[in-house]
Amino acid sequence: MDRVDGKTAFITGGARGIGLGIARAFARAGAKLALADIDQASLATAKSELSDLTPVETFLLDVRDRSAYARVADETESRLGSVSILCNNAGVAGDQHVTRLTYEYWDWVIGINLTGVINGVQTFLPRMLKRGGGGHIVNTASGAGLAATSSGLLYTTSKFAVVGLSESLRLALEPFKIGVSVLCPGPVNTKIISNSNDTRPSSSVTVEETKMWEAAITQANAFLAAGADPNQVGEMVLAAVKTDRLYIHTDRIMAGLIEARAKALLDAMPPAK
């Protein structure tokens, strides 16, 4: 997709953080925007900012809600035209210590980080295929989706799945001229931990869990503050869509771990005959 001007881009988690950075990049490039998020105030602020550049529609959406997703997709295409660029970006960075895992925590992280991506694909892909003419899908994973890190069991599991989904989806869609990219960022200067805290499972809202979250937020914010600017990440995503690039890395922080994982996989194989 050499040009995005005049195209409609649908971006989940589009009112804050990386999603807003992506929205800004596409707006400057002339794409029409549909921004979906769970934060109504941030949606209003984003629309106020970006409407001077391009047509913008905003939607309150929990990406786990398939019925709501279908309704929002209909409204988007009615107001802005067919969606050609889908950015499945909404996600949480919460996790739970292995000794305190619960089904509720699994459902929270997997539901948003993985099922949310699946819902986006399954909502919009049939429409893209029926219309023909190509398109592009961007799925936000993480560097933690390429090699295990200290990011946590739940988060890493969800992001590995998004990487695998994206790689296999790209192969499946090549005959239909629909590109697929997977964003695997390292640290980015966002408030994702604070935002994730707002949606964490109700069973974890105890004095002990709240103190642990407060400590994690303080530590994460200090780490992420030194990371990439979300607006720069947005420009990287735009460039990847234009050049149909599969992997989008924001830095080289995972290079050593990826190399070590690949070596371990190859070393574990039977000897060549």
Decide if pLDDT at 79 tops 90.
Answer: yes
Confidence of residue 204 (pLDDT cuts 50, 70, 90): low
Number of domains in the chain: 1
Residue 270 lies in a domain: no
- The answer to whether the CB of 37 falls within 8 A of the CB of 15 is yes
- pTM of the predicted model as reported, rounded to 2 decimal places: 0.93
Q: Which residues contact 209 (CB under 8 A, 6 or more apart)?
A: none
Residue 26 lies in a domain: yes
Residue 46 lies in a domain: yes
Decide if pLDDT at 205 tops 70.
Answer: no
Whole-number Å distance between alpha carbons of 239 and 201? 36
Q: To which residue do tokens 């695998």 refer?
A: 164
Query: What is residue 225's predicted lDDT score, i.e. its pLDDT?
Result: 81
Residue 269 lies in a domain: no
Q: List pLDDT tens digits, range 184-193.
A: 999 998 877 7
Decide if pLDDT at 118 tops 80.
Answer: yes
Query: What is residue 203's predicted lDDT score, i.e. its pLDDT?
Result: 67
Whole-number Å distance between alpha carbons of 8 and 77? 8
One-letter identity of residue 198: D
Query: What is residue 190's predicted lDDT score, i.e. its pLDDT?
Result: 84
List the domain range (segments joined by +) for residue 241. Answer: 8-261
Residue 2 lies in a domain: no
Q: List pLDDT tens digits, range 135-194.
A: 999 999 999 999 998 878 999 999 999 999 999 999 999 999 999 999 999 999 887 777
Whole-number Å distance between alpha carbons of 48 and 116? 26
Query: What is residue 218's predicted lDDT score, i.e. its pLDDT?
Result: 72
Residue 1 lies in a domain: no
Active site positions, annotated: 155
Query: What is residue 20's predicted lDDT score, i.e. its pLDDT?
Result: 98
Percent of the chain with pLDDT over 70: 96
Query: What is residue 213's predicted lDDT score, i.e. its pLDDT?
Result: 62
Q: Say which DSSP state 74 is in.
A: H
Which of the two residues, 94 and 50, has the higher pLDDT score? 50
Residue 271 lies in a domain: no
Q: Say which DSSP state 151 is in.
A: T
Q: What CATH code is carried by the domain that includes residue 44?
A: 3.40.50.720
- Burial level of 176, CB count in 10 A (0-12/13-18/19+)? middle
- The answer to whether the CB of 180 falls within 8 A of the CB of 136 is yes
Collapsed DSSP state (helix, strand, coil) of residue 136: strand
Residue 3 lies in a domain: no
Q: List pLDDT tens digits, range 232-250.
A: 999 999 999 999 999 999 9
156: its two tokens:
């890493």
Query: What is residue 241's predicted lDDT score, i.e. its pLDDT?
Result: 98
Decide if pLDDT at 87 tops 80.
Answer: yes
